[in-house]
A and B are shown apart, each in its own frame.
Chain A
C-alpha cells in the first residue's frame, strides 16, 4: 500500500499560519474547525542578577500539524462505524461523512487533535490530504500556500529518504503510539517529546 505523508520544517516556519487559513478557505471550514493548526510551543524565563541586569532563556518554535495519516491510526481503530478509514490507494485517513454517527470517539483517541467535529454537519471531519488535488498531480493546498516552503508532502518513503525520520519533537506525542506519516525538521530550539520546560502558547487558537 502506498503511504503519503507530511514533512514540517520547524527551522523555516515563522508561524504565519497561511497553511491553516488556506486549508480553511479551500475546505470551507466553519469557526472552530481547523484541519491544520499551527501550535506555538515555547517556554523559558527571565532571571534578575545581583547587578540588576536580566538574562533570559526563552525559546519558541512553531509546529504546523494537520493529520499525520498514521500507519496505525488510533482514530480508525476507535471508530465504531468504519466511517474513519484508511484509503488503500494512498494511505490517507479520511471520514465518510455519510456513515459517521458523530460520536466523537476518534477525537478522544487521536493524540494530534486531527479529527474535528463539525457542528453544522453534525459529524466528524478532518484533513483528507487533499486527495482530490493529489490525484491531479498537485500537492495539498497547505503545502503550496506556504510562503516559507516549510512544508512538503509526498510518498513517505521518498520524504524519509530526503528528510530523515523524526517525529518525536514536543508538543507531539511519542510516535510509537500511532506511527505517524510525519517527519519533523528540527530547529535550534527544538525540544523532544516529553519535554516539560515548554507548553503550547496559543491554546485558544488551536481549539483547546
Chain B
C-alpha cells in the first residue's frame, strides 16, 4: 500500500488536534497543575511531529518539501493543507513554549483558543485534499466527517491516558473531574462516529461509480470490522473504567493503542476505496 505513510500522517495529525482540543478544554475548565499539563501538551507536538515525518516519507523527493508552498498560487488543496499544518503546529508550539517559559500568561488562553480553532481548520483542509470531483468514492461530506471524528474519538482517550499517567502531580480531584468529562464526551463521540460509519458505508454502496466499491476490496470487510471492534473496545473499556473511578495508566495506554489501531484500519479502508470517475483507468 503506497499510501501507508499518509494513513499514519492523517490519523496522527487528526489525533494530535483532538488531543490538543481535549487538553485545552481541561485547561480552560478544570485549571489543573501547570507543569504536568505542559508535559501533556508536549505530547501533542510529539504526535503531530511523528505524523509530519510520516508524511515527508511519502515524498519521492523529501528534500524539496518546501516546494509545496508554490502551489498556493493556484490554491492547491495540498498546499493549503500544509498551511493548515503550519498554523496548527505553530499555535500549539507557541502555546507550549509560552507555558514552559511563562511568557505573557494573560495571552496564553487566547493562543490556546486560536490553536483549537486552527486545529479544526487543519482537519477540514486535510479533508479538502481528498474531496476530489474526479474521485467519486471520496467526493462527499463523509470524508470531512470521518477526519473530524478521528480527532474526537482519539483525542479524549489520549488525554485521559496522559492525565492518568500524571495523576500524582495533578491531584485526584482534577483528574477525576476532567477524565469523567472526557469519558462522557468520548462515549458521545463513539456513538456519533459509529452511527456515521453505518451511514457512510450505506452511501458507499450507492455511490455512482463503475463497480461496487465493496467488491473492489479484498480485505475491506475485515478492516471495517477491525475498526468497529477495536474502537468500541477502546472507548467503552476506558470510559467505563474512568466513570467507575479507575486510575490505571496502563488501561489508558492500552485503549490509546487500540483506538489508534482502529483509526489506522479505518483509514486504510478509506485509501483502498479510491475509485476514479473513469471505469478504472
A residues with a Cβ closer than 8 A to B are: 39, 41, 65, 74, 76-83, 99-105, 108-113, 117, 121-124, 170-174, 177-178, 194-196, 198-200, 203, 206, 208
Contacts and interface: CB of A to CB of B under 8 A. Distances in A.
Contact of A101 (B65, B77, B133, B208): B65
A149 to B, nearest CB: 24
Given A80-B76, A81-B71, A109 B132 contact: yes
Contacts of B67: 80-81, 83, 99-101
B130 to A, nearest CB: 8
6 contacts: A80-B70, A100-B67, A102-B60, A102-B61, A123-B61, A171-B281
Interface stretch (B230-238, B251-259, B272-280): B272-280
Nearest to B279: A171
B61 A100 contact: yes
Given A102-B60, A117-B60, A177-B134, A111 B78 contact: no
Contact of A39 (B65, B210, B281): B281
A78 B278 contact: no
B281 A206 contact: yes
Given A81-B68, A82-B70, A101-B59, A173 B278 contact: yes
The binding surface of chain B is classed by DSSP as loop
Nearest to A110: B134
Interface of B: 2, 58-62, 64-65, 67-68, 70-71, 73-74, 76-79, 82, 129, 132-135, 208, 210-211, 274, 276-281
Contacts of B133: 74, 177
Contact of B135 (A102, A108, A172, A195): A108
A178 B277 CA distance: 11
A172 B79 CA distance: 29
B134 A74 contact: yes
B279 A200 contact: yes
The binding surface of chain A is classed by DSSP as loop
A180 to B, nearest CB: 11
A108 B65 CA distance: 19
A170 B278 CA distance: 8
Contacts of B211: 196, 199
B281 A65 contact: yes
Contacts of A101: 59-62, 64-65, 67-68
Q: Which of A99, A173, A198, A203 gathers most chain B CB within 10 Å?
A: A173
Nearest to B82: A80
Nearest to B76: A80
Contacts of B278: 111-113, 171-173
A194 B211 CA distance: 10
A171 B79 contact: no
Nearest to A74: B134
A203 B82 contact: no
Contacts of B210: 171, 194, 196, 199
Given A104-B2, A122-B61, A177-B134, A79 B281 contact: no
Contacts of A174: 277
A79 B277 contact: no
B75 to A, nearest CB: 8
B82 A111 contact: no
A170 B280 CA distance: 10
B136 to A, nearest CB: 9
Q: Which of A39, A77, A80, A103 gathers most chain B CB within 10 Å?
A: A80
B279 A41 contact: yes
A76 B74 contact: yes
Contacts of A113: 276, 278, 281
A151 to B, nearest CB: 18
Contact of B70 (A74, A81, A102, A124): A81
Contacts of B279: 41, 170-173, 195, 198-200
Nearest to B134: A111
